[in-house]
Amino acid sequence: MKFYRMHVLVAEDTRSIMAGAKRVEEALKEEIRIAGLEDEIRVVPTGSLGFSDKDQVAIAIYPDNIIYCPVLVSTVPEIVKEHFLKGRIVKALAHPMEQKEVTMEERTSENQMNLDIQKRILLQNVGKIDPENIQEYIAADGYVALEKALFDMSPEKVIEEVKTSELRGRGGAGFPTGLKWQFTRPNPGPVKYVICNADEGEPGTFKDREIMEGDPHKMIEGMILATYAVGGTHGYIYIRGEYALSIQRLQKAIDDCYEYGLLGKNILGTEFCFELCIHSGAGAYICGEETALINSIEGKRGEPRKKPPYPPSQGLWQKPTLVNNVETFANIPAIISNGGEWYQSIGVEGSRGTKLFSLMGDINWKGTIEIPFGTPVGDIIDNVGHGVRYDRQLKGVILGGSSGSLLVPEELTTPVDFHALAHIEAGPGSGSIVVMDETRCIVDICLNIAEFFRHESCGKCTPCREGTAQICHLLEMIASGNGLPEDIDHLEKISQTMMDASFCPLGQTAPSVLRQALKKYRQEFLDHVHGNNCPAEVCNMNFTEED
Amino acid sequence: MEEKKHLLEQLHDIQDADKEHHLSTKKVVELSEKHGYSPAKVYGVETFYTMYSTKPRGKHIIRICENQSCHMANAKNMIHHLEKKLETHVGGTTEDGLFTLELSSCLGMCSVSPAMMIDDVPYGNLTEDRIDEIINSYKEGK
């Protein structure tokens, strides 16, 4: 293998590519070639470097530990000539922690994350390795866990480790992963499926994408380990059709795995065989529900099935099937490498390990973060998100996506863990944190969420199909100044019915933000229906008193 | 049994290969006959998923997100602006057949909202000026 004295890592996640990262990569290669340095300096695309809220291209230089951001095609020649050729750092082009030298450490602590709070296990390689190069993943101790499992551990032992780790599913429901595996293993049959749920569609969620674009092998290794543990034979990655870059990188990763004997027949020379392929969805939020997802792979409408039977006994084509989320699988390699007890030492009682969150809304820093369970929501907003934008007042936080919960500022001392959040009728859900400042109108936010669910309800059961439409209609009336006081009661009744009677979690959780809003921000709804007044002046109240 | 698993993928393939990015009745009937299920079943499937269209569409498909994060970043104005700029409405195709404008559920680009995709290419931090610039670049590139 060639030795390079310098590596230039170009952030090439979806957002950076949007900002022109590919063009910068080409320019770098061209300039390096012109300077005659192509045998000394290697340009490597990598995942997000953590500047994901800006329309800017960032590059990291190793071993110099320098970040240039923003990099334009027009500034590339200067960087190459000055820094790469002459060894002088171009301070003016370095990331604006204003003209002082910006090192990896500073970037890490100041810009991207407060290291006291964050802990990177899942995102360990993101922004450091080339996601399209299996050798780099292997060099970063990739597939070590698989080797360990295949040669030193029985499948039962793998399940035991995962149980010891107390890992809970990261798809939203939080079911103990080890237990799910244990249920799946004894079910007999020559064919058993393992499915990765990569149908990340919860509004305000983009954390799985970070793994798939930045370190796809980690998730695949987790899947192979799971398959070994439950005795699986075939696997699918069910991914949203809209995630073009993720699909491309996963496909490359799968192809490389086949070539390296990590997938297919007799993996690493053992008896273990596993066939894995990608199945892309076609735009249906409901397919994130595991039985709907299974129907979708079978080529049907993505409507949920009756449970039981649960997928571990009868799933895809009536065969035993294990379904886990991207993030869940990505946790597995570290658990197997370091042991369940190690993992169990991170986080708090009942919620072990780290959790990815997508941070957005009216906040200073937006992006994907990884924190150990037990960190208070408010700390995440203040220390990682650097507080509310424009020094405004915080109004509330939507936690866990549109089907999640609504937190008022007083509740933000609650630690992020399953138990503590359950006390305030919340949960980490899909891992989305949407911060709202004082200028937001709660009716408007609820209406937007209602419109989403009206569109995404699959129509199979009446409470959800009719409920989502009625809620939307009533909120439209209230938001346009045509609401009546009794509409608030109607909203409460419909919400309750949907929660009690809907067939699947979509309908059961669709009204959850609304229900909490009606409780916690009731006065705002009353202002809308009584005074025809939108206190935040967001809603277009057609018929005011003066008219 | 095994061949059914690829129905969604097959529909994707047919639609991608189609000049007008849609699933024509003729193609759907052919597919049904090949696999021995009723055209109604296939129709049921194709109309369930947002990414399939039974109507002919333009050369480029614009999918703009209007969910939570984009909504908070003024997606509504961006949609109006697109409608004005393209002289069509959501669900419609421009007269020159170059663009079809569609709404999409969350595209997972919330940190750069408001966001849209044109075919497979994502665009974020949209402003009215940026939209004009992007649309013009496609118009010139045709």
DSSP A219-255: HHHHHHHHHHHHT--EEEEEE-TT-HHHHHHHHHHHH
Given this model, what pLDDT does residue A110 score? 44
B83 and B114 assigned to the same domain: yes
- pLDDT beyond 80 at A31: yes
Q: Is the pTM above the cut of 0.95?
A: no
Residues of A whose CB is below 8 A from B9: 279-280
Q: Tell me which residue range forms the domain holding B126.
A: 60-139
Task: Quote the percentage of chain A above a pLDDT of 70.
Answer: 94
B90 and B131 assigned to the same domain: yes
Q: Is residue B54 part of a domain?
A: no
Exposure b/e, A316-341, CB count within 10 A at least 16 = b: bbebbbbbbbbbbbbbbbbbbbeebe
Given this model, what pLDDT does residue A116 score? 53
Please report, for the domain that includes residue B124, its CATH number: 3.40.30.10
A479 vs A6, higher pLDDT: A479
Given this model, what pLDDT does residue A1 score? 52
Of B1, B49, B124, the CB nearest to A282: B49
B19 and B74 assigned to the same domain: no
Report CB contact under 8 Å: A53, B112. yes
- pLDDT beyond 50 at A545: no
B67 and B44 assigned to the same domain: no
What CA–CA distances, in Å, run from B56 to A389, B15, B35, B92, B98? 43, 10, 24, 10, 12
Report CB contact under 8 Å: B112, A15. yes
For tokens 């230089």, the residue is A61
What's the average model confidence in pLDDT over A321-347?
96
B29 and B93 assigned to the same domain: no
For tokens 């969420």, the residue is A449
Q: Is residue B53 part of a domain?
A: no
Given this model, what pLDDT does residue A514 score? 98
B20 and B84 assigned to the same domain: no
Query: How many H helices and E strands in chain A?
Result: 22, 15
> What tokens were used for A306?
């009756």
Cβ pairs A/B, distance under 8 A: 140
Band (pLDDT 50/70/90 cuts) for residue A121 is confident
Least confident of A9-18, A438-447, A513-522: A9-18
- pLDDT beyond 60 at A344: yes
Q: What is the average pLDDT value for chain A, to the nearest integer?
A: 90
- pLDDT beyond 80 at B4: no
What's the average model confidence in pLDDT over A293-315?
95
B75 and B131 assigned to the same domain: yes
Given this model, what pLDDT does residue A18 score? 83
Give the minimum alpha-carbon distance from A539 to chain B in angstroms, rounded to a whole number.
Answer: 13
* Residues 362 through 381 of chain A touching chain B, CB cutoff 8 Å: 362, 366-368
- pLDDT beyond 50 at A5: yes
Least confident of A276-285, A480-489, B1-10: B1-10
Most confident of A293-297, A361-365, B119-123: A293-297
- pLDDT beyond 70 at B1: no
- pLDDT beyond 50 at A104: no
What's the average model confidence in pLDDT over A309-320?
95
Q: Is residue B129 part of a domain?
A: yes
Q: Is residue B22 part of a domain?
A: yes
Q: Is residue B1 part of a domain?
A: no
A385 vs A96, higher pLDDT: A385
B76 and B133 assigned to the same domain: yes
| DSSP E strand stretches across B1-142 | 60-65, 99-104, 116-118, 121-123
Report CB contact under 8 Å: A203, B106. yes
- pLDDT beyond 50 at A242: yes
Given this model, what pLDDT does residue A542 score? 72
Q: Which residues contact A138 (CB under 8 A, 6 or more apart)?
A: none
> What tokens were used for A31?
């300039």
Q: Nearest residue of A to residue B2 by CA position?
A: A298
- pLDDT beyond 60 at A547: no
Band (pLDDT 50/70/90 cuts) for residue A51 is low
- pLDDT beyond 50 at A98: no
Least confident of A86-90, A191-195, A220-224, B72-76: A86-90
Residues of B whose CB is below 8 A from A472: none
B73 and B132 assigned to the same domain: yes
Q: From the centroid of its chain, how far is CA A18?
A: 19
pLDDT digits (tens, 9 = 90+) for A436-493: 999 999 999 999 999 999 999 999 999 999 999 999 999 999 999 999 999 999 999 9
Band (pLDDT 50/70/90 cuts) for residue A117 is low
Task: Quote the percentage of chain A above a pLDDT of 90.
Answer: 73
- pLDDT beyond 80 at A358: yes
Nearest of A531, A247, A237, A514 to residue A403 by alpha carbon: A514
B66 and B126 assigned to the same domain: yes
pLDDT digits (tens, 9 = 90+) for A181-237: 999 999 988 999 999 999 998 998 999 999 999 999 999 999 999 999 999 999 999
Q: Which residues contact A492 (CB under 8 A, 6 or more apart)?
A: A515, A518
What's the average model confidence in pLDDT over A368-397?
92
Q: Tally the domains of chain B.
A: 2
Output the DSSP codes for A473-529. Answer: HHHHHHHTT---HHHHHHHHHHHHHHHHH-SSHHHHHTTHHHHHHHHHTHHHHHHHH
Q: From the centroid of its chain, how far is CA B95?
A: 17
Given this model, what pLDDT does residue A70 score? 87
ipTM for the predicted complex comes to 0.94
Q: Looking at residue B22, what DSSP letter applies?
A: S
B130 and B73 assigned to the same domain: yes
Band (pLDDT 50/70/90 cuts) for residue A114 is very low
Q: Is residue B71 part of a domain?
A: yes
- pLDDT beyond 50 at A546: no
Question: Is A101 within 8 Å of chain B by CB?
Answer: no
Residue A395 CA to residue A71 CA, distance in Å, equals 36
What's the average model confidence in pLDDT over A493-498?
97
What's the average model confidence in pLDDT over A493-499?
97
Q: Across the strands, what pairs with A59?
A: A10, A68
What's the average model confidence in pLDDT over A94-107?
49
Residues of A whose CB is below 8 A from B5: 279, 297-299, 317
Q: Nearest residue of B to residue A362 by CA position?
A: B72
Rounded to 5 degrees, φ, ψ at A174 are: 75, 30
Least confident of A167-176, A499-508, B2-11: B2-11
B26 and B82 assigned to the same domain: no
